[in-house]
Amino acid sequence: MDLSFFDQILTPVIAIDKAGKPYYFNFICSTFFQLPPRKLQKCESFEDLILSSKLDIQKYIEEVEDKKTYSLTPETKFQTPGGDIYNCVFKFFPLGEYIIINILDFSIEKRLHEKYKEQIIELRETHEQILKADKLTALGEIIAGIGHEISTPLMIMNNRLENLENYLGIGDFTSSQVAVESLRKEYNRVVKIFSGMKSIVKNQEDLFEIVDLNQVAQETIEFFNGLDSCKGIELKKTVDDENLWVMANKIKLEQVVINLIKNAIDSLRDSNTPQPKITISLTSKKELQLNQVDVIDNGPGVASEHKSKIFDMFYTSKDIGAGTGLGLAISKKIIESFSGNIDLVETKTGCQFSIEIPTVELGSFTLTNKYLSGTEDREGPKILFYGKDIDHLNEIYASLASTHHVLIFSADESRLSETLNFLLVDCIVLIDKCNHNGLDDFEILDISEKDDETQLKILEHKFGS
């Protein structure tokens, strides 16, 4: 049979007989294998050309012979007699008395992919370094006044100790009790200041978990209420839904909110705004599957010439030495890493920054950014966790994150069936004795008592088992 028409093809084509002995090589094979045609013709077996390969040639020969159609191998890494390493897919198909093997070389794409992964990792490391630098800068600005913040309650405590000593000396136990209560109050104030500082410097940069926005807002308010820099400024939160959960890094999210509030405090102080007020507003946009955090103040707002540049790196409207120009730029990067966005909202008075982050069902699905960005090669089963207890969800997530690459959480019973309509999951884990209405395509695989109060129901897709 004349096979010379394969010489026009620019990928290696080899014809072998049913025993695996090469019969024909097209022109490109000599370049690909780095062997002259006479040496190629001396090969007794195709396997002599693909060294260090686990490819079972005979298996594919028998398969195409039996089915009379083509067969593709998985991506295979091998070494040629010339010493080159290739990553290829082999296509086998029958042609008359021969089996044709077409080699599809993906080595260049593979190397580019590896290079891309390296660059992504380098960019991530650079981003983390910038993030830490900004974090230290913000921390330094807060620590600059921390001596005064601590000294005030300590002076009060010293005064109360002197009073307590006098009361005990004269046997006035009622006044002694009042002094003890005052001491306890000032002690708790100092503890809150240090707890707030500890949460900021905590090294948990890479931890993703289910975060309660209510808790973030409340802890941020408590942190600032313990500082004299916030005295005279009304700081409050408004909430329209108690279940505002997102998939995020809690420390980074708190860093963003703290940065926005600190900017608001500086603006209110510098402008001497009467009756200064800052509000953290939490709202649920269920129709868009988003949770929103707004930081609103009644200060002078952002000047029009600054609005288009406030998220630019190193751009600051503050005086030289008063700001780094990193805060809002880093905040934007942090929120975007949660698949969210942050914007300056147009308002007639004051200033309003709005943060939108996907609700936990969608936010956790996009957590697989390492796989989606190409920095993670492996795939794993898609698992949907449904429950209403953040601690249990985070505990299970932490235990499985290293072995399962796609983890989906749901906290809203009304959205469970809706979520399944667009996500093909292999397994559902129901926590806290949840019902499984509407899950007709799944069957209970296992039920286990985690403790006295928690029950895990594992449901597996009927068609995937």
Dihedral of the alpha carbons of 282, 285, 289, 290, in degrees to the nearest 10 = -40
pLDDT at 214 over 60: yes
Bigger pLDDT: 55 vs 405:
55
Give the pLDDT mean for 146-157: 66
* pLDDT at residue number 449: 39
Distance CA(141)–CA(153), nearest Å, equals: 20
- Burial of 245 per CB tally in 10 Å (0-12, 13-18, 19+): buried
Residue 279 · residue 230 · CB < 8 Å = no
Please, what's the largest Cα pairwise distance for the chain?
A: 119
Check residues 272 and 160 and name the one with the higher pLDDT.
272
C-alpha distances (whole Å) from 49 to each of 3, 39, 74, 262, 290 are 20, 11, 18, 67, 56
Options 3.40.190.10, 3.40.30.10, 3.30.450.20, 1.25.40.80; CATH of 4-105: 3.30.450.20
- Concatenate the DSSP letters of all residues of 360-380 into one string: HHHHHHTTTHHHHTTS-----
Residue 370 pLDDT? 43
What would the mean pLDDT of 102-108 be, rounded to a whole number? Answer: 90
Top-confidence residue, 431 or 365:
431
Q: Express as a percent the part of the chain with pLDDT over 70.
A: 65
pLDDT by residue (tens digit) across 217-253? 998 888 787 666 777 899 999 998 777 888 888 878 9
Query: Is residue 28 scored above 80 in pLDDT?
Result: yes
pTM metric for this prediction: 0.48
Name the band, by pLDDT with cuts 50, 70 and 90, for residue 306.
confident
CB 30 within 8 A of CB 37: yes
Whether 459 contacts 439, CB under 8 Å: yes
User: How far apart are alpha carbons 7 and 10 in whole angstroms?
Assistant: 8
Domain 121-131+206-360 belongs in CATH node 3.30.565.10 = yes
The phi, psi pair for 106, rounded to 5°, reads: -110, 20
Contact 384, 410 (CB under 8 A): yes
First to last CA, the chain: 47
Neighbours of 361 (CB within 10 A): 22
What is the structure's pLDDT at 387?
A: 63
Question: pLDDT by residue (tens digit) across 323-358?
Answer: 444 568 778 888 988 889 999 998 888 899 999 998
* Domain ranges, ordered by start, for the chain: 4-105, 121-131+206-360, 145-201, 378-461
Question: Which residues, including other chains, have CB under 8 Å from residue 118's CB and lie 6 or more apart?
Answer: none
- What is the arithmetic mean of pLDDT over 135-139? 61
For the domain made up of 378-461, give the CATH fold. D-Maltodextrin-Binding Protein; domain 2 (3.40.190)
Report the run of H or E that residue 430 belongs to, with start and end. Answer: strand 427-431
pLDDT at 94: 92
The token duo for 217 is: 């807002």
Q: Report, in this order, helix, strand and coil percent for the chain, each rounded to 5.
A: 45, 25, 35
If you average pLDDT over each of 15-24, 200-209, 239-248, which comes out highest?
15-24
